[in-house]
Amino acid sequence: MSNASKKYTFIDLFAGIGGFHTALHSLGAKCVFASEFDKNARISYEANYKDVEPALFQKDKNGKYLFFNEDINDVDPSGIPNFDICCGGFPCQPFSVAGLRKGFEDTRGTLFFNIANIVREKIKAGYPPRVLFLENVRGLKNHDKGKTLQVILATLEELGYGYSYEVLNAKYFGVPQNRERLFIIAWYKELVNIDSFKFPYGIAKDGSTIYEKDKVKDNSLLTKVSDIFEPSDITRNFTISDRMWEGHKTRKERNKKNGKGFGYSLFNGDSIYSSTISARYWKDGSEILIDQSDKGLNPRTLTPVEAGRLQGYRIIGGGWERQECSDNQNYNDSNPEYKIVVSKKEAYRQFGNSVAVPVIKRIAEEIIKQLM
């Protein structure tokens, strides 16, 4: 049986709204356990995955979820079904490093410890997870003078895993967003005999994967911010007020004088990418404002639908301003439709916190090819 047609299982930790789930499910993998603390993210997660993975949302006779955990600190690893791949976009926290022995014990009291502990208990029980697929902010590399990453890698080693890590940018994977994230791929050395993992750096214009870092800039898929636009009869309702626009301009000027911060960022439909969307986007949208001066209007924020598309989710919303965009590789009907079921504010927060799905999908394809 080829790797691609085997049925792999995965767990989805710090699951958010399920960017890892969307990507791995599209490759035929089955989610057997998920954990997410935020109540609104849980609502979005269940609404979008309960039809594709009903077993994940089973409850016991007291109405408690069996496999959709709320607080990872309460998890008993023996209650988690065995799995091949552990996915986790874990928060970046410092470790209180005691002395020189950097490793598992130093991670206690952090959320990364929960990942390491689940893996350790599965190894003890004779079911070592084959691959760990971890994501974090780019800053993890230098966090606490590099100590944080050092402890994570030492812990992986201690558990018997080889690893490779790399910073990848979503703008080379067909989404018009400049979003850098650190990925750590680890494999259980007793099961997988390789020296390093070959990362995908982007998607070429013909849809193939680019493996050379130096080729990605000139050869990746062309993108435009307008790839994500809903029609203008919808977007004009997101025009910011005169007062807010004046506030943005004043703040930018002041920051410039004080030499700190950047203030707002303005893009138009022809910009090849926007800046990184973050969880605070709902507050004032300042990191990505869309210029409407050609219509004689103040700038606008992205709609929640556009914010989701910026992360590679296929959201139908009110349709597309440029109809041909609905047929590109991220938004065509080979991708599952993602439904927004929460308030505008929560939708922005959730998309700002999400992974960029096309990046996760390409890495997952390589995991299946190289490590399974």
Residue with tokens 């004080």: 258
Per-residue pLDDT of the chain (372 residues; tens, 9 = 90+): 456 557 899 999 999 999 999 999 999 999 999 999 999 999 999 999 999 999 999 999 999 999 999 999 999 999 999 999 999 998 776 666 554 456 667 677 788 989 999 999 999 999 999 999 999 999 888 888 888 899 899 999 999 999 999 999 999 999 999 999 999 999 999 999 999 999 999 999 999 999 999 999 999 999 999 999 999 999 999 999 999 999 999 988 888 888 777 789 999 999 999 999 999 999 999 999 999 999 999 999 999 999 999 999 999 999 999 999 999 999 999 999 999 999 999 999 999 999 999 999 999 999 999 999
pLDDT at 332 (0 to 100): 93
Same domain (yes/no): 66, 182: yes
pLDDT for residue 256: 83
For residues 80 and 194, membership in a common domain is answered with yes
**DSSP state, 259?**
T
Q: Which amino acid is at 69?
A: N
Confirm if 151 and 159 have CB atoms less than 8 A apart. no
Do 46 and 176 fall into the same domain? Answer: yes
134 with 229, same domain: the answer is no
Q: What is the per-residue burial (b if ≥16 Cβ within 10 Å, else e) of 209-230?
A: bbeeeeebeebbbebbbbbbbb
Instruction: Give pLDDT, residue 255.
Output: 85
183 shares its domain with 264: no
26 plus 171 within the same structural domain: yes
Co-location of 216 and 74 in the same domain: yes
Q: In this predicted structure, what is the pLDDT of residue 148? A: 86
Three-state SS at 294:
helix
Token digits of residue 229:
């636009």
Picking from 61, 91, 66, the residue whose alpha carbon sits closest to that of residue 80 is 66
Query: 241 with 249: CB under 8 angstroms?
Result: no
pLDDT of residue 1: 45
Which entry of 31, 86, 92, 325 is annotated as an active-site residue?
A: 92
Nearest to 284 by CA among 227, 226, 204, 345: 345
For residue 294, the enclosing domain spans 225-353
Q: Clarify whether residues 102 and 117 are in a common domain.
A: yes
75 and 153 share a domain?
Answer: yes
Query: Residue 108 maps to which CATH number?
Result: 3.40.50.150
Residues 75 and 145 in one domain: yes
Residue 279, domain CATH: 3.90.120.10
Contact criterion met (CB below 8 Å) for 108 and 34: no
The answer to whether 92 is a known catalytic residue is: yes
Q: What SS3 class is residue 59? A: strand
Do residues 336 and 366 share a domain?
Answer: no
Residue 4: its pLDDT value, please?
A: 53
Q: Which residues contact 15 (CB under 8 A, 6 or more apart)?
A: 21, 34, 35, 36, 41, 45
pLDDT of residue 2: 54
Where in the chain does DSSP place strands (E)? 9-13, 30-35, 68-69, 85-88, 131-137, 161-169, 180-188, 202-203, 209-210, 266-267, 289-290
Q: Count of residues for the chain?
A: 372
Instruction: Confirm if 278 and 287 have CB atoms less than 8 A apart.
Output: yes
Is there a single domain that holds both residue 185 and residue 237?
no
As for how many domains the chain has, the answer is 2
